[in-house]
Chains A and B, each alone.
Chain A
Amino acid sequence: EPEVTQTPSHQVTQMGQEVILRCVPISNHLYFYWYRQILGQKVEFLVSFYNNEISEKSEIFDDQFSVERPDGSNFTLKIRSTKLEDSAMYFCASSGGQGLNIQYFGAGTRLSVL
């Protein structure tokens, strides 16, 4: 069964460092998303991406965040200068092609900022 793949599963970084979280969406999907979940809190939307551009972003997705689809398979989230409060689970999701916005989630990357 097709699935969304995320790497790494756990990323530890120092405050102020840049991190790149990687995702391989389901191959025939056209819409890609990043969400995050701080421990004990709701899953929160960060950004959606379609046709090589951002289609929607939340207030959380400020200038320190960026997304890119560098090739035909990968979808990345970059955090330029990490803060302690960026520590969370980051989930990539994808959807599309069937007229129904059913989003399938990857296993997530746990980001720990020290």
Chain B
Amino acid sequence: QKEVEQNSGPLSVPEGAIASLNCTYSDRGSQSFFWYRQYSGKSPELIMSIYSNGDKEDGRFTAQLNKASQYVSLLIRDSQPSDSATYLCAVNLNGGYQKVTFGIGTKLQVIP
């Protein structure tokens, strides 16, 4: 079964620090990778998408992908209390318009 693995946390970081969230996936054929943020009781909100090896930056967020290691990460710089949420890693096979498979999510707590 194709899996996406994340540490459920909680991951606690002080305000202003860098939060590092990690994800591994089992299917080597996976092509598209996403990070969603989910506040308690709310729906997933897309933060980043990444498709090729390396880094992709968007504001305070950097997604990193290493297909050889089947590893994707999200760095949040200058963490704010409003970043406190669960971060879901999601993976899509083949790059087509297929389902995405979600990890359990890592709960991030940013301490003021």
A→B interface (CB under 8 Å): 30-31, 33, 41-45, 48, 50, 55-56, 58, 89, 91, 95-96, 100-108
Contacts and interface: CB of A to CB of B under 8 A. Distances in A.
11 contacts: A33-B99, A41-B104, A43-B90, A43-B102, A48-B97, A100-B32, A100-B49, A102-B34, A105-B43, A105-B44, A107-B42
Given A48-B99, A101-B92, A107-B43, 13 more contacts: A30-B97, A31-B97, A42-B104, A42-B105, A45-B99, A56-B99, A58-B99, A89-B43, A91-B43, A91-B44, A100-B49, A101-B98, A107-B42
B44 A42 contact: no
Most A C-beta atoms less than 10 A away, residue of B45, B98, B105:
B98
Nearest to A40: B104
A101 B95 contact: yes
B5 to A, nearest CB: 11
Interface string B18-44: 000000000000001010100000111
Interface of B: 32, 34, 36, 42-46, 49, 51, 88, 90, 92, 95-105
Given A42-B102, A42-B103, A42-B104, A101 B97 contact: yes
Most A C-beta atoms less than 10 A away, residue of B45, B102, B105:
B102
Contacts of B42: 107-108
A39 to B, nearest CB: 10
A101 B32 contact: yes
Given A42-B103, A43-B102, A102 B49 contact: yes
Contacts of A55: 97-98
A58 B51 CA distance: 24
Nearest to A33: B99
Contacts of A33: 99
A106 B44 CA distance: 8
A50 B98 CA distance: 10
A102 B46 CA distance: 8
B96 A101 contact: yes
Contacts of B32: 100-101
